[in-house]
Amino acid sequence: MRILLILPGLLISITSHSQITTNFNPERAKDMAELCNSFTHLDLYGDDKSVIPKGYKKTFTSDDIGMDNKFQVYKKKNDIGVIHIRGSTKNPKSWMANINSAMIPAKGTMTFDGKPFDYTFAKTPEAAVHSGYVISIAAMRGLILKHIRRLNEQGIYDIIITGHSQGGALTNMLMAYLSNLPDETLDPKNTFKAYAFAATMIGNDIFAKEYRIRYCDKGLSYNIVNPEDPITRLPLSYKNNEKEMLVNNLKRFMNEEQSLNFQQMLTDGAALLLQENLDTLVYNTSKRLNRNIERELGPLELPERKDDHNYQYLCNRQEIEPVEYPKVLKDSSMLENEELVTGYERTEEGHFKNEEFYKDESWNYQHKPYNYYAGFLKTYFPKEYEALEPKYLDENL
């Protein structure tokens, strides 16, 4: 049951049984931003205790699933559950999910692992979604539903979905998938809310419009974005097959100094974006990728693709401040040379005034999950940001 509380100058909508408010909750989003560092810390340091917010308890971690996907389940004081989805990994399967960006209908039937899978991410007929991410949801759905029911058995019906990068995109996909399940699939008392960080785009404008009406306008889905993070502008889109539009998207995605790094990041197929019709390229690339996916996951058959590659940003974008790239010398041994150290001008902070001595910020530095957490603190909790140690991870430099 939904209740409206009317206070002087304030209208608040809540669900009577729910611990989840239908608005942007900076405290809760901060917890999710920190928690989204779990997988990275486990990979780098073998331990994630320092990034698990107070009061949260990890109850489950899945094995690698499908397109090298993985998720964790948390509880907070037996009131709130959290499903945290991992972002991209170095595994080629993970990048096949990202690059397999042909759009398919947001409602349809596919064959996954030789079995039919009826899915609905939106009800509007012309809505279309990212096919690679549909495959990821197909792979994870059974285990996720099992753990939602397990939370329900413990009296937990308020569930937050979160993730960073590909995990953020899958957060939005999962929000749409769960909300469109037949009524008998899950307990109707469940309330889902999504906090996606650094998410790539997942559907066309028709999908984005329905998503806004059903989730964003109700305060149930938020996308936290660093405006200097280029990954959030993917997949590259076009309008009316105009090459000029595609070129502008590329310019928006990178500056001239970063172009080489960007080309190194792309696969051979995606590097042809400026030479071929984007629809044809995406279609042919996806066909090849689907054959590779079949070898990994078993028989796979997707609905006929949509003749559309106009990806659209989702709503409720909460922009955070970029973080400052630290002063890191290209050659730290120069500090051992007293003549060099004393021969160059310094700032009041002790840095060399000659910027050529320092490393340039990498093209994806702002995208890192720890930098999203730091940027979130900087934006919403400046005192906590000032006290944050460390302010960056050496491994991200």
Output the CA–CA distances (angstroms, integers) from residue 165 to 48, 254, 328, in the order listed. Answer: 19, 18, 26
Say whether pLDDT at 280 is over 80: no
**CA pair distance 138, 386, nearest whole angstrom:** 42
**CA pair distance 303, 109, nearest whole angstrom:** 7
* pLDDT for res 64: 97
Count of other CB atoms within 10 angstroms of residue 142: 9
* pLDDT for res 292: 72
Query: What DSSP assignment string belongs to 338-393?
Result: HHHHHHS-B-TTS-BS-GGGBPPPPTTGGGSHHHHHHHHHHHH-HHHHHH-SSSS-
Average pLDDT on 302-321 reads 91
* pLDDT for res 320: 99
Residue 90 · residue 42 · CB < 8 Å: no
Nearest to 375 by CA among 356, 392, 352: 392
Average pLDDT on 126-140 reads 96
**CA pair distance 72, 76, nearest whole angstrom:** 13
* pLDDT for res 298: 79
Higher pLDDT, 336 or 146: 146
Dihedral angle of Cα 209, 214, 220, 226, to the nearest 10 degrees:
-10
Q: Does residue 176 come out as left (phi exceeding 0), alpha (psi in the -120 to 50 range) or beta?
A: alpha
* pLDDT for res 357: 85
Average pLDDT on 139-162 reads 98
Q: Please tell me the pTM assigned to this model.
A: 0.85
Say whether pLDDT at 162 is over 70: yes
Higher pLDDT, 169 or 350: 169
Confidence class of residue 7 from pLDDT cuts 50, 70 and 90?
A: very low
Average pLDDT on 317-331 reads 93
**CA pair distance 10, 204, nearest whole angstrom:** 34
**CA pair distance 186, 83, nearest whole angstrom:** 16
Sequence-ordered alpha helix ranges (H) in 50-119? 92-99
Strands of 56-61's sheet in order across: 56-61, 71-76, 80-85, 158-164, 191-197, 221-225, 317-319
* pLDDT for res 335: 76
Say whether pLDDT at 2 is over 50: no
State percent of the chain over pLDDT 70: 82
* pLDDT for res 79: 92
Strand (E) or helix (H) holding 29: helix 26-35
Average pLDDT on 165-191 reads 98
Confidence class of residue 330 from pLDDT cuts 50, 70 and 90?
A: confident
Say whether pLDDT at 261 is over 70: no
Higher pLDDT, 282 or 374: 374
User: Which domains, from first to last, does the chain contain?
Assistant: 2-325+361-396 (3.40.50.1820)
Say whether pLDDT at 160 is over 60: yes
* pLDDT for res 222: 99
